[in-house]
Homo-oligomer: A and B are copies of this chain.
Amino acid sequence: MTRASSRRPGPPTRTERGIPEATVARLPVYLRALTALSDSGIATASSEDLATAAGVNSAKLRKDLSYLGSYGTRGVGYDVEYLRYQIAREIGVTQDWAVVIVGIGNLGHALANYSGFGTRGFRIVALLDADPNLVGERIGDMEVRDFAQLEEIVEADRVSIGVITTPAGPAQEVCDRLVAAGVTSILNFAPVVLSVPDGVDIRKVDLSIELQILAYHEQRKSGEAALPQVPELPAMNGMTDLPSVGGGVGA
Protein backbone atom coordinates (compact mmCIF):
# COMPACT_ATOMS: atom_id res chain seq x y z
CA MET A 1 0.00 0.00 0.00
CA THR A 2 2.69 2.45 -1.02
CA ARG A 3 0.44 4.96 -2.58
CA ALA A 4 1.77 8.40 -1.64
CA SER A 5 3.60 9.63 -4.70
CA SER A 6 6.45 11.45 -2.98
CA ARG A 7 8.39 13.57 -5.44
CA ARG A 8 10.02 16.46 -3.64
CA PRO A 9 10.00 18.16 -0.23
CA GLY A 10 7.25 20.49 0.92
CA PRO A 11 3.79 19.72 2.19
CA PRO A 12 2.97 16.00 1.70
CA THR A 13 2.38 16.12 -2.07
CA ARG A 14 -0.74 18.19 -2.13
CA THR A 15 -2.88 19.00 -5.18
CA GLU A 16 -2.56 17.09 -8.46
CA ARG A 17 -4.66 14.21 -7.09
CA GLY A 18 -2.44 13.21 -4.19
CA ILE A 19 -4.48 12.95 -1.02
CA PRO A 20 -2.60 11.61 2.02
CA GLU A 21 -3.60 8.10 2.99
CA ALA A 22 -4.58 9.16 6.51
CA THR A 23 -6.99 11.67 5.03
CA VAL A 24 -8.47 9.14 2.62
CA ALA A 25 -9.23 6.88 5.57
CA ARG A 26 -11.20 9.68 7.23
CA LEU A 27 -13.21 10.85 4.24
CA PRO A 28 -15.77 8.05 4.66
CA VAL A 29 -16.22 9.10 8.28
CA TYR A 30 -16.95 12.66 7.21
CA LEU A 31 -19.30 11.36 4.59
CA ARG A 32 -21.29 9.49 7.19
CA ALA A 33 -21.36 12.50 9.50
CA LEU A 34 -22.63 14.67 6.68
CA THR A 35 -25.32 12.15 5.84
CA ALA A 36 -26.44 12.15 9.47
CA LEU A 37 -26.57 15.95 9.54
CA SER A 38 -28.43 15.99 6.27
CA ASP A 39 -30.98 13.52 7.60
CA SER A 40 -31.50 15.82 10.58
CA GLY A 41 -32.42 18.58 8.18
CA ILE A 42 -29.30 20.63 8.82
CA ALA A 43 -28.27 22.58 5.73
CA THR A 44 -25.07 24.24 6.89
CA ALA A 45 -22.39 23.18 9.35
CA SER A 46 -19.15 24.70 10.60
CA SER A 47 -15.93 22.71 10.74
CA GLU A 48 -16.48 22.54 14.49
CA ASP A 49 -19.92 20.96 14.10
CA LEU A 50 -18.67 18.50 11.53
CA ALA A 51 -15.61 17.62 13.55
CA THR A 52 -17.75 16.84 16.59
CA ALA A 53 -20.05 14.67 14.54
CA ALA A 54 -17.11 12.81 13.03
CA GLY A 55 -15.16 12.47 16.27
CA VAL A 56 -12.05 14.38 15.21
CA ASN A 57 -10.75 17.86 15.94
CA SER A 58 -11.68 20.74 13.71
CA ALA A 59 -8.18 21.66 12.53
CA LYS A 60 -7.63 18.19 11.19
CA LEU A 61 -10.98 18.19 9.50
CA ARG A 62 -10.33 21.52 7.80
CA LYS A 63 -6.93 20.39 6.59
CA ASP A 64 -8.38 17.14 5.28
CA LEU A 65 -11.10 18.97 3.38
CA SER A 66 -8.59 21.44 1.99
CA TYR A 67 -6.98 18.60 0.03
CA LEU A 68 -10.20 18.25 -1.94
CA GLY A 69 -10.55 21.93 -2.75
CA SER A 70 -12.18 24.99 -1.19
CA TYR A 71 -15.71 23.87 -0.63
CA GLY A 72 -16.51 25.98 2.42
CA THR A 73 -17.43 29.62 2.91
CA ARG A 74 -15.47 31.69 5.40
CA GLY A 75 -17.59 33.14 8.14
CA VAL A 76 -20.35 30.65 7.34
CA GLY A 77 -19.27 27.02 7.14
CA TYR A 78 -20.00 24.21 4.71
CA ASP A 79 -23.13 23.49 2.74
CA VAL A 80 -23.94 19.97 3.93
CA GLU A 81 -25.43 18.61 0.69
CA TYR A 82 -22.82 20.14 -1.50
CA LEU A 83 -19.89 18.92 0.58
CA ARG A 84 -21.45 15.50 0.86
CA TYR A 85 -21.64 15.23 -2.88
CA GLN A 86 -18.06 16.40 -3.33
CA ILE A 87 -16.71 13.84 -0.88
CA ALA A 88 -18.84 11.07 -2.36
CA ARG A 89 -17.50 11.92 -5.77
CA GLU A 90 -13.91 12.04 -4.55
CA ILE A 91 -14.23 8.64 -2.90
CA GLY A 92 -16.02 7.27 -5.91
CA VAL A 93 -19.30 6.18 -4.37
CA THR A 94 -21.47 8.18 -6.72
CA GLN A 95 -21.17 5.19 -9.00
CA ASP A 96 -21.95 1.61 -7.96
CA TRP A 97 -19.17 -0.90 -7.39
CA ALA A 98 -19.78 -4.57 -8.06
CA VAL A 99 -18.61 -6.81 -5.21
CA VAL A 100 -18.25 -10.57 -4.85
CA ILE A 101 -18.12 -12.34 -1.48
CA VAL A 102 -16.12 -15.55 -1.35
CA GLY A 103 -16.63 -17.94 1.56
CA ILE A 104 -20.17 -18.21 2.83
CA GLY A 105 -19.53 -19.29 6.42
CA ASN A 106 -20.86 -17.42 9.43
CA LEU A 107 -19.33 -14.13 8.50
CA GLY A 108 -20.04 -14.40 4.80
CA HIS A 109 -23.64 -15.12 5.71
CA ALA A 110 -23.80 -12.06 7.89
CA LEU A 111 -22.40 -9.80 5.20
CA ALA A 112 -24.69 -11.28 2.57
CA ASN A 113 -27.71 -10.68 4.77
CA TYR A 114 -26.72 -7.14 5.48
CA SER A 115 -29.39 -5.29 3.57
CA GLY A 116 -28.02 -1.77 3.72
CA PHE A 117 -25.46 -2.55 1.05
CA GLY A 118 -27.07 -1.84 -2.27
CA THR A 119 -28.04 1.65 -1.29
CA ARG A 120 -24.53 2.67 -0.34
CA GLY A 121 -22.45 2.61 -3.50
CA PHE A 122 -21.75 -1.12 -3.44
CA ARG A 123 -23.68 -3.94 -5.04
CA ILE A 124 -23.15 -7.59 -4.18
CA VAL A 125 -23.32 -9.44 -7.47
CA ALA A 126 -22.41 -12.93 -6.25
CA LEU A 127 -21.93 -15.12 -3.21
CA LEU A 128 -19.38 -17.82 -3.92
CA ASP A 129 -18.28 -20.95 -2.10
CA ALA A 130 -16.44 -24.08 -3.14
CA ASP A 131 -18.48 -26.32 -0.84
CA PRO A 132 -21.12 -28.16 -2.97
CA ASN A 133 -23.38 -28.41 0.11
CA LEU A 134 -23.63 -24.63 0.23
CA VAL A 135 -24.00 -23.99 -3.48
CA GLY A 136 -27.64 -23.35 -4.28
CA GLU A 137 -28.60 -22.12 -0.84
CA ARG A 138 -30.69 -18.97 -0.93
CA ILE A 139 -29.68 -15.98 1.20
CA GLY A 140 -32.06 -13.08 0.91
CA ASP A 141 -32.70 -12.71 -2.80
CA MET A 142 -29.39 -14.25 -3.82
CA GLU A 143 -28.23 -17.79 -4.35
CA VAL A 144 -24.82 -19.16 -3.44
CA ARG A 145 -22.92 -20.07 -6.59
CA ASP A 146 -19.93 -22.27 -7.24
CA PHE A 147 -16.54 -20.66 -6.82
CA ALA A 148 -15.60 -22.18 -10.18
CA GLN A 149 -17.82 -19.59 -11.83
CA LEU A 150 -15.71 -16.76 -10.49
CA GLU A 151 -14.05 -15.80 -13.75
CA GLU A 152 -17.21 -15.51 -15.80
CA ILE A 153 -18.96 -13.53 -13.07
CA VAL A 154 -16.09 -11.08 -12.71
CA GLU A 155 -16.04 -10.56 -16.44
CA ALA A 156 -19.79 -10.29 -16.91
CA ASP A 157 -20.41 -7.88 -14.03
CA ARG A 158 -17.15 -5.93 -14.21
CA VAL A 159 -16.33 -6.84 -10.62
CA SER A 160 -13.38 -4.93 -9.21
CA ILE A 161 -13.79 -5.58 -5.49
CA GLY A 162 -13.65 -8.97 -3.78
CA VAL A 163 -14.35 -9.82 -0.15
CA ILE A 164 -12.66 -12.90 1.31
CA THR A 165 -14.49 -14.52 4.23
CA THR A 166 -13.02 -17.99 3.98
CA PRO A 167 -10.97 -19.68 6.70
CA ALA A 168 -7.25 -18.99 6.71
CA GLY A 169 -6.32 -22.11 4.77
CA PRO A 170 -7.76 -21.42 1.31
CA ALA A 171 -7.50 -17.62 1.55
CA GLN A 172 -4.30 -17.18 -0.44
CA GLU A 173 -5.52 -19.46 -3.21
CA VAL A 174 -8.85 -17.63 -3.37
CA CYS A 175 -6.94 -14.36 -3.45
CA ASP A 176 -4.79 -15.53 -6.36
CA ARG A 177 -7.87 -16.61 -8.29
CA LEU A 178 -9.54 -13.26 -7.66
CA VAL A 179 -6.49 -11.38 -8.88
CA ALA A 180 -6.11 -13.61 -11.93
CA ALA A 181 -9.77 -13.01 -12.76
CA GLY A 182 -9.19 -9.28 -12.77
CA VAL A 183 -10.21 -8.13 -9.30
CA THR A 184 -7.94 -5.28 -8.20
CA SER A 185 -9.20 -4.50 -4.69
CA ILE A 186 -9.58 -7.04 -1.92
CA LEU A 187 -11.03 -6.87 1.56
CA ASN A 188 -9.69 -9.76 3.60
CA PHE A 189 -11.33 -11.13 6.73
CA ALA A 190 -9.21 -14.28 6.88
CA PRO A 191 -6.50 -14.28 9.55
CA VAL A 192 -3.55 -14.52 7.18
CA VAL A 193 -1.19 -12.11 5.45
CA LEU A 194 -2.08 -12.27 1.78
CA SER A 195 0.46 -11.41 -0.87
CA VAL A 196 -0.69 -9.73 -4.04
CA PRO A 197 1.10 -8.23 -7.05
CA ASP A 198 1.63 -4.49 -7.42
CA GLY A 199 -1.45 -2.66 -8.54
CA VAL A 200 -3.77 -4.67 -6.35
CA ASP A 201 -4.95 -3.01 -3.15
CA ILE A 202 -5.65 -5.08 -0.12
CA ARG A 203 -7.15 -4.23 3.24
CA LYS A 204 -7.58 -6.47 6.23
CA VAL A 205 -10.15 -6.66 8.98
CA ASP A 206 -9.28 -8.84 11.90
CA LEU A 207 -11.36 -9.25 15.02
CA SER A 208 -8.68 -11.10 16.98
CA ILE A 209 -6.16 -8.36 16.42
CA GLU A 210 -8.60 -5.67 17.53
CA LEU A 211 -9.38 -7.57 20.69
CA GLN A 212 -5.73 -8.13 21.43
CA ILE A 213 -4.98 -4.43 21.09
CA LEU A 214 -7.77 -3.75 23.57
CA ALA A 215 -6.38 -6.43 25.88
CA TYR A 216 -2.98 -4.77 25.87
CA HIS A 217 -4.41 -1.48 27.08
CA GLU A 218 -6.73 -3.25 29.47
CA GLN A 219 -3.80 -4.98 31.09
CA ARG A 220 -2.18 -1.61 31.67
CA LYS A 221 -5.23 -0.28 33.45
CA SER A 222 -5.89 -3.10 35.83
CA GLY A 223 -2.85 -4.56 37.53
CA GLU A 224 -0.07 -2.11 36.70
CA ALA A 225 1.60 -3.60 39.76
CA ALA A 226 0.26 -7.12 39.30
CA LEU A 227 2.36 -7.37 36.16
CA PRO A 228 5.74 -8.94 36.93
CA GLN A 229 8.48 -6.64 35.70
CA VAL A 230 10.43 -8.81 33.27
CA PRO A 231 10.37 -12.52 34.03
CA GLU A 232 13.46 -13.53 32.10
CA LEU A 233 12.68 -17.22 31.96
CA PRO A 234 9.10 -18.39 32.35
CA ALA A 235 8.53 -21.99 33.34
CA MET A 236 9.32 -23.94 30.20
CA ASN A 237 6.85 -26.72 30.96
CA GLY A 238 3.95 -24.31 30.77
CA MET A 239 4.79 -23.09 27.33
CA THR A 240 3.49 -25.96 25.26
CA ASP A 241 -0.07 -25.59 26.48
CA LEU A 242 -0.36 -21.85 26.17
CA PRO A 243 -3.69 -20.66 24.88
CA SER A 244 -3.15 -20.80 21.15
CA VAL A 245 -3.30 -17.11 20.56
CA GLY A 246 -2.85 -15.81 17.07
CA GLY A 247 -6.01 -17.02 15.39
CA GLY A 248 -8.74 -14.94 13.87
CA VAL A 249 -12.35 -14.75 12.82
CA GLY A 250 -11.74 -16.54 9.56
CA ALA A 251 -15.22 -17.87 9.08
- Would A27 and B120 be within 8 Å (CB), given that A107-B110, A114-B106 are in contact? no
- Would A121 and B212 be within 8 Å (CB), given that A69-B230, A191-B32 are in contact? yes
Other-chain contact of A120, B35, B53, B110, B244 (Cβ < 8 Å):
B244
- Would A88 and B245 be within 8 Å (CB), given that A193-B53, A201-B217, A217-B185 are in contact? yes
Chain B residues closer than 8 Å to A210, beta-carbon distance: 187, 203, 205
Contact, CB under 8 Å: A92 / B245: no
Chain B residues closer than 8 Å to A29, beta-carbon distance: 193, 209
Total identical chains: 2
Contact, CB under 8 Å: B193 / A55: yes
Chain B residues closer than 8 Å to A92, beta-carbon distance: 212, 215-216, 218-219
Chain B residues closer than 8 Å to A218, beta-carbon distance: 92, 97, 160-161, 184-185, 201
Complex Cα distance A89/B25, Å? 31
Chain B residues closer than 8 Å to A186, beta-carbon distance: 214
Q: Does residue A9 face the partner (Cβ distance < 8 Å to B)?
A: no
Contact, CB under 8 Å: A109 / B106: yes
Contact, CB under 8 Å: B114 / A251: yes
Contact, CB under 8 Å: B28 / A242: no
Complex Cα distance A205/B111, Å? 14
Complex Cα distance A160/B217, Å? 11
Q: Does residue A213 face the partner (Cβ distance < 8 Å to B)?
A: yes
Complex Cα distance A208/B209, Å? 19
Contact, CB under 8 Å: A111 / B208: no
- Would A221 and B249 be within 8 Å (CB), given that A113-B106, A120-B243, A193-B55 are in contact? no
A interface list, Cβ under 8 A from B: 3, 17, 24-25, 27-29, 31-36, 53-55, 69, 81-82, 84-85, 88-94, 96-97, 99, 106-107, 109-111, 113-114, 116, 119-122, 160-161, 184-187, 191, 193, 195, 199, 201, 203, 205-222, 230-231, 234, 239-240, 242-251
Known contacts A84-B242, A203-B213, then 9 further A-B pairs from the complex at CB < 8 Å, ordered by chain A residue: A27-B212, A32-B191, A33-B246, A85-B234, A85-B242, A91-B212, A93-B243, A121-B215, A121-B243
